[in-house]
């Protein structure tokens, strides 16, 4: 789980008040399978507070209590059920039914008519959105992400040898970006056996250095190492991970989030503060009275796309929706974490306790359906146009500072 990653005391990239947890790299015993709905008998109340170790789907060894494990077992059973739905659609509609065809008003080879669009593509879009919010099966995730994010289309615009040639062009070259990357590699999820291996770090380095040369304005920003590392674990190949990183930075997320000034990130934090006041007014007013700045927690959430905060399997569910629906998903999820602990937050009087409650909540969100239900049903709709207007309003102020 990314959210409970131990950090070296010298690693002060983000909030120094973060709780420190422990992971193990020894092979796990089989995961307990006790029912989540059961409760310990009298005299056994401590059973659900026992610490257990298990391996998540991304290969991280994590610690939780028995209740955490039971929730995760239930989630994985739903993933298997959801997988059967996806495979049934693959069988009935075709392996690439969710690919978006080109649109033409007069038809033709390789395109569809507007009438056909209304009957097929729009139907598929609604179906796909609903399915993705319920979770993409791990086996299909690389292909689905490449498709819905636009990464496959982006890659198709350059020669097939683009990535290999880019990596060869970077060999032996040193820049401020490569020096920072080399500094951060050993600190990127050091308890993951593959990412901490020579092979894993070399692969992550090539992806990060390659992108720093592709876009010298962004270069490299701390936080991207965690994003790229998770992409590697999901996509399996360097080239696919590279193109997912490219589409994230160039198309999905707001521009300038990862430049030297982090101006885009500062804009997002101000937009988030406004949205918190609108969607969770009681929380916002209470935190404002305390002098709590939401950027104390939300900066890392947005820069790392929750990869250092949520359990890895929950992070992947958030990313499923992010790649399909865009950056507004980050606001939905961030607001949901606050909303889920509204009563507790309203009782808190100290800033440090706010941070502890929010981080502890996020670290133990093994139930992605609960998080996403809060994010979309309880928080309510937020149109892209509304968020865009808020961004433009704050951009002027941020650029003037």
Q: Is residue 58 a part of any domain in this protein?
A: no
Domain stop point among 187, 217, 252: 252
Residue 357 Cα distances to 27, 99, 205, 286, 317, angstroms: 31, 41, 34, 15, 22
CA 231 to chain CA centroid, Å, is: 10
282, 395: one domain: yes
Strand, coil or helix: what is 201? helix
Rounded to the nearest 5 degrees, what angle is found at the Cα of 162, between the Cα atoms of 229 and 201?
25
Tell which wins on pLDDT, 61 or 213: 213
Q: Is the pLDDT confidence value at 18 over 60? A: no
Distance between CA atoms of residues 142 and 144, nearest Å: 6
Tell which wins on pLDDT, 289 or 42: 289
Q: Is the pLDDT confidence value at 96 over 60? A: yes
The stretch 370-392 carries a mean pLDDT of 91
Domain stop point among 218, 252, 286: 252
pLDDT tens-digit readout, 224-283: 999 999 999 999 899 999 999 999 999 999 878 898 888 999 999 999 999 999 999 999
Q: Is the pLDDT confidence value at 68 over 90? A: no
Distance between CA atoms of residues 233 and 148, nearest Å: 19
216, 241: one domain: yes
Residue 349 belongs to a domain with what CATH number? Answer: 1.10.472.80
234, 343: one domain: no
- The answer to whether 84 and 75 are in contact (CB under 8 A) is no
CA 222 to chain CA centroid, Å, is: 16
Domain stop point among 252, 278, 307: 252
Q: Is the pLDDT confidence value at 16 over 50? A: no
pLDDT tens-digit readout, 158-199: 999 999 999 999 999 999 999 999 999 999 999 999 999 999
State the pTM of this model: 0.83
Q: Is the pLDDT confidence value at 37 over 80? A: no
Domain holding 364, by residue range, is 263-400
- Measured from the Cβ of residue 310, the count of other Cβ atoms closer than 10 Å reads 28
Structure tokens at 116: 């056909």
Q: Is residue 65 a part of any domain in this protein?
A: no
Q: Are strands 102-103 and 111-112 parallel, antiparallel or unpaired?
A: parallel
Q: Is residue 144 a part of any domain in this protein?
A: no
Q: How many residues does the chain have?
A: 401
**Which H or E element spans position 264?**
helix 263-279
Q: Is residue 313 a part of any domain in this protein?
A: yes
226, 317: one domain: no
**Which H or E element spans position 111?**
strand 111-112
Hunting for tokens 């133990």 — which residue is that? 364
Q: What percent of the chain has pLDDT over 90?
A: 60
Distance between CA atoms of residues 256 and 272, nearest Å: 16
Q: Is residue 43 a part of any domain in this protein?
A: no
Residue 172 belongs to a domain with what CATH number? Answer: 1.10.8.270
Q: Is residue 228 a part of any domain in this protein?
A: yes
Residues 6+ apart with CB under 8 A from 219: 175, 176, 177, 212, 260
Number of domains in the chain: 2
Q: Is residue 85 a part of any domain in this protein?
A: no
Q: Is residue 323 a part of any domain in this protein?
A: yes
* pLDDT attached to residue 126: 77
Q: Is the pLDDT confidence value at 9 over 80? A: no
Side-chain half-sphere exposure of 356, counting CA atoms within 13 A: 9
pLDDT tens-digit readout, 315-325: 999 999 999 99
Tell which wins on pLDDT, 227 or 102: 227
């Amino acid at each position: 789980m990314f959210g409970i990653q131990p950090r070296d005391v010298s690693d002060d990239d983000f909030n120094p008040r973060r709780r420190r947890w422990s992971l193990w790299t020894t092979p796990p015993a089989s995961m307990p399978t006790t029912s989540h709905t059961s409760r310990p008998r009298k005299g056994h109340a401590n059973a659900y507070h026992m610490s257990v170790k298990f391996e998540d789907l991304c290969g991280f060894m994590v610690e939780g209590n028995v209740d955490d494990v039971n929730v995760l077992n239930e989630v994985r059973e739903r993933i298997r059920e959801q997988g059967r739905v996806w495979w049934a659609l693959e069988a009935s509609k075709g392996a690439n039914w969710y690919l978006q065809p080109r649109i033409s008003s007069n038809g033709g080879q390789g395109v569809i008519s507007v009438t056909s669009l209304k009957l097929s593509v729009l139907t598929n879009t609604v179906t796909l959105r609903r399915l993705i919010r319920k979770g993409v099966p791990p086996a299909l995730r690389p292909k689905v992400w490449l498709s819905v994010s636009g990464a496959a289309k982006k890659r198709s615009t350059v020669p097939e040898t683009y990535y290999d040639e880019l990596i060869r062009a970077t060999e032996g070259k040193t820049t401020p970006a490569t020096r920072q990357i080399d500094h951060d590699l050993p600190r990127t999820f050091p308890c993951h056996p593959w990412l901490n291996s020579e092979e894993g770090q070399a692969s992550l380095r090539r992806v990060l250095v390659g992108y720093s040369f592709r876009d010298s304005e962004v270069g490299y920003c701390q936080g991207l190492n965690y994003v790229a590392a998770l992409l590697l674990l999901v996509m399996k190949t360097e080239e696919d991970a590279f193109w997912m990183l490219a589409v994230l930075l160039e198309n999905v997320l707001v521009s300038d989030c990862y430049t030297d000034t982090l101006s885009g990130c500062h804009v997002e934090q101000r937009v988030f503060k406004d949205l918190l006041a609108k969607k969770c007014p009681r929380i916002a007013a209470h935190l404002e009275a305390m002098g709590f700045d939401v950027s104390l927690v939300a900066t890392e959430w947005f820069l790392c796309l929750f990869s250092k905060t949520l359990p890895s399997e929950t992070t992947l569910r958030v990313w499923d929706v992010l790649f399909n629906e865009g950056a507004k998903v980050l606001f939905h999820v961030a607001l949901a974490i606050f909303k889920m602990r509204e009563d507790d937050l309203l009782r808190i009087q100290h800033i440090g306790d706010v941070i502890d409650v929010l981080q502890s909540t996020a670290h133990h969100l093994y139930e992605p359906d609960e998080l996403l239900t809060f994010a979309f049903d309880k928080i309510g709709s937020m149109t892209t146009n509304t968020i865009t207007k808020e961004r433009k309003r704050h951009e002027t102020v941020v650029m003037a500072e």
